Every structure is written in structure tokens, then in C-alpha cells.
Amino acid sequence: MKTNRVSLIIIPVVLIAFIAVALFATQTPARDANAQDTSLSMRSLLERLRARMDADPNFLVTIQFFDPPVPETNQWIIPSNLTEEGSTRRFGEIGDEYVCFAEVGPSFNNSVCVLYSNISMVIYSN
């Protein structure tokens, strides 16, 4: 008799524990084992592209923006000449979440920094 009473108590407790574990497992968001930190990937890409530019002065990169830093200019070619004689735009500081473009000319020396989330596309030749 005692074993029947113990079984009547243990079986429901074990079932409730299994149900609780199953519910918890289905409510916990799954983690993607292949997820990557896109900001670090973008940083790596831009650093590699800058190194190619340093090695080959004819190498160009086109950056397209969701929200252009300069109105009505949704893409920049890097490096490029700006409107003022002798002025250029190149890659400047490259951070974990942003890239800065160095704009240097006879009368100015500016940095324009853009979050990676504002970059819609990076185009370059292989």
C-alpha cells in the first residue's frame, strides 16, 4: 500500500516537472550559433578596403546611405575629389559602430562620421 501511495505522489510531481521544463524551454528565445556581430564585420571590411586603397591609388569604394549625410547625395565614392580645388574625401577613423570620412581641403579639415546602421550598401571591385 505504501508503494502505491508513494507512486501516486511521485508520478504527478515528475510529470509536473517535465511539463515545467518543456514550457520553460519553449519560452526561452533560441540563440543562433552562427550569429555575428555585424559592426565588427563592417569594421573589418572597411579596414581591408582602406588597406587596398593604400596599396592601389586607383581602387575605389562606393558607399550608399539610407539617410545621406549630405542631402541629395545618397552615395559617396571613396576616395574622391570634392568641389573645392585640392580637396578630397577619404576613409578616416573606423570604429566598432561607425566610420568617419576625412574631408580635407585648403580651407578645411573635417570628419563626417556615419553609423553603420545608416549604410545600405558597400560596392567595390573584387
Q: C-alpha cell of 92?
A: 578616416
Low-confidence ranges of the chain (pLDDT < 50): 28, 30-33
Which pLDDT score is estimated for 55?
96
Residue 18 has what pLDDT?
A: 57
| Nearest CA-CA partner of 49 in 126, 109, 115 | 126
Give the other-Cβ count within 10 Å of 63's Cβ: 23
The x, y and z cell numbers of residue 37, run together, are 556581430
Closest CA to 69 of 3, 123, 115: 115
> Is 0.95 topped by the overall pTM?
no
pLDDT at residue 33, rounded to an integer: 46
Any idea what the Cα angle at residue 44 is, between residues 101 and 47, rounded to 5°?
45
pLDDT for the residue 72: 86
What is residue 20's predicted lDDT score, i.e. its pLDDT?
A: 54
From the list 28, 41, 27, the residue with the least C-alpha distance to 96 is: 41
